[in-house]
Structure 1
Amino acid sequence: MNDKALIKRILFLAIAMSFSACLQVFHQFFIYWRFSFFNEPWRWWTAHWVHVGWTHYFLNMLAFACLPFIFPQVKNRHLIGLLLILPLFISFCFYYFYPNVEAYAGLSGVLHGLYVACAMYYLQFKKERKFSTIVLCLVLAKIIWENTFGSLQTAELIGSPILVEAHFLGAIGGLCVAVIYFSIRYVQRASSK
């Protein structure tokens, strides 16, 4: 990564983290709230940028800040696209498939989707396939563990229950975006021949 790309990456992270911190101040206006789902559509996105507390915020921002350096070939515009699509996907899945979820806050579902989508993207690079496969296996193992035995000690750390459904939905969303991306690229290549 050259100096210009590094500066852009750091600026992107700083803006995203600052945005999340600002929303955190008035989090009650930005969380996912089922009862106002269609009346306050901004919550479809903002719910994933607010957190149940500052510890929750710092943990998610740490995982978010690592992502672009773990997958340096993923461009900021791709991350922005994922940050627009994944929260929407998770919010609508909550509303239609998990009616018992009345409130939600946190980036962890989106983070699972980001890591899955980026790892899937990296599978196309021969030198990165092993690493990408390890990341995908770790995410899958984490989701299986959470849905079988419950969340990893994170609930005690952040002082709130973990909604493991968000992690599962995020990973499914990331997988769907990657499949659609590669399908579009395949069609484009086939039509250019």
Structure 2
Amino acid sequence: MKDQIWIGKVILIAVCVSVSACLQVFPDLFIYWRPSLLAEFWRLWTAHWVHVGWMHFFLNMLAFACLPFIFPHARNWHLCVLLLLLPPFISLIFYFYLPYIEAYAGLSGVLHGLYTAVGLVYLQYPKERKFAILVLLLIATKLVWENTFGQTGTAQLIGSPVLTEAHLIGAIGGVLCGLSYLLFRRVERTD
């Protein structure tokens, strides 16, 4: 059974990395492009799977691939639900509340949401609680740093500006998803 879970995680990672790599071939068709976002609704999701370059792709895929192994209790279906909810959440916040964002590409906002949501859910596991707190504190510290001092190192590495708003919005989405899951589980246990 345990082997099947690990194989499932590897398959999920392989599928996501493959889809993202395929989108890299024609990135202009898939990025967040505000003028055509609502007419080309797929961009709500695909914008977060296409990247500004291969180094950007590699860094985001590496962070994504680590998640299921850092948090082994995270089920594939939980991750899939988050991967369906977080991209349009971030894209729609951009569209309705941050109209100055014309274009965006990258998974980093979704990654912040994934790690935040899973970290919150991991607080319920006594043996993993300290690690979950550490991850959440690191994310919070990173967000404060980025929104206070900016982000230059990563921008130089990937060759493009980093949209720190995506990180913050993704983390907020992760908090909402994580807390919703915990609330749902609590209600489910009382029934």
Q: TM-score, normalised by structure 1?
A: 0.97
Q: State the partner residue of 1:35.
A: 35
Q: What is the rounded CA distance, in whole Å, between the counterparts of 1:120 and 1:175 in structure 2? A: 7
- Cα offset for 1:159? 0.3
Contact conserved, 1:37 with 1:43, CA < 8 A, in 2? yes
Q: What is the rounded CA distance, in whole Å, between the counterparts of 2:69 and 2:183 in structure 1? A: 26
Secondary structure of 1:73's counterpart equals coil
Matched to 1:177, the amino acid is C
Contact conserved, 1:31 with 1:104, CA < 8 A, in 2? yes
Is 1:23 the counterpart of 2:23 in the alignment?
yes
Q: Over aligned residues, Cα RMSD in angstroms?
A: 1.0
Q: What is the rounded CA distance, in whole Å, between the counterparts of 1:84 and 1:184 in structure 2? A: 18
Matched to 1:91, the amino acid is S
Q: Any idea what the Cα deviations from partners look like across 1:36-94, whole Å, max 9, x if unmatched?
A: 12100000000000000000000000000000000011000000000000001100000
Q: State the partner residue of 2:174.
A: 174
Matched to 1:39, the amino acid is A
Q: What is the rounded CA distance, in whole Å, between the counterparts of 1:72 and 1:152 in structure 2? A: 32
Q: State the partner residue of 2:7.
A: 7
Q: State the partner residue of 1:186.
A: 186
Q: Any idea what the Cα deviations from partners look like across 1:100-119, whole Å, max 9, x if unmatched?
A: 00000000000000000010
Matched to 1:90, the amino acid is I
Q: What is the rounded CA distance, in whole Å, between the counterparts of 1:29 and 1:111 in structure 2? A: 22
Matched to 1:16, the amino acid is C
- Cα offset for 1:182? 1.4
Matched to 2:178, the amino acid is A
Contact conserved, 1:146 with 1:152, CA < 8 A, in 2? no
Q: Which runs of 5+ in 1 are unaligned?
A: none
Contact conserved, 1:112 with 1:170, CA < 8 A, in 2? yes
Q: State the partner residue of 2:48.
A: 48
Report % sequence identity.
Answer: 60
Q: State the partner residue of 1:75.
A: 75
Q: What is the rounded CA distance, in whole Å, between the counterparts of 1:127 and 1:3 in structure 2? A: 22
Q: State the partner residue of 2:111.
A: 111
- Cα offset for 1:187? 2.1
Q: What is the rounded CA distance, in whole Å, between the counterparts of 1:25 and 1:156 in structure 2? A: 23
Contact conserved, 1:50 with 1:57, CA < 8 A, in 2? yes
Q: Which runs of 5+ in 2 are unaligned?
A: none
Contact conserved, 1:30 with 1:50, CA < 8 A, in 2? yes
Bigger shift: residues 149-158 or 45-54: 149-158
Secondary structure of 1:7's counterpart equals helix
Q: What is the rounded CA distance, in whole Å, between the counterparts of 1:135 and 1:152 in structure 2? A: 22
* Residues paired across the two proteins, number: 191
Matched to 1:13, the amino acid is I
Q: State the partner residue of 1:138.
A: 138
Give runs of ≥4 in structure 1 deviating > 4 Å: none
Secondary structure of 1:52's counterpart equals coil
Q: TM-score, normalised by structure 2?
A: 0.98
Q: State the partner residue of 1:66.
A: 66
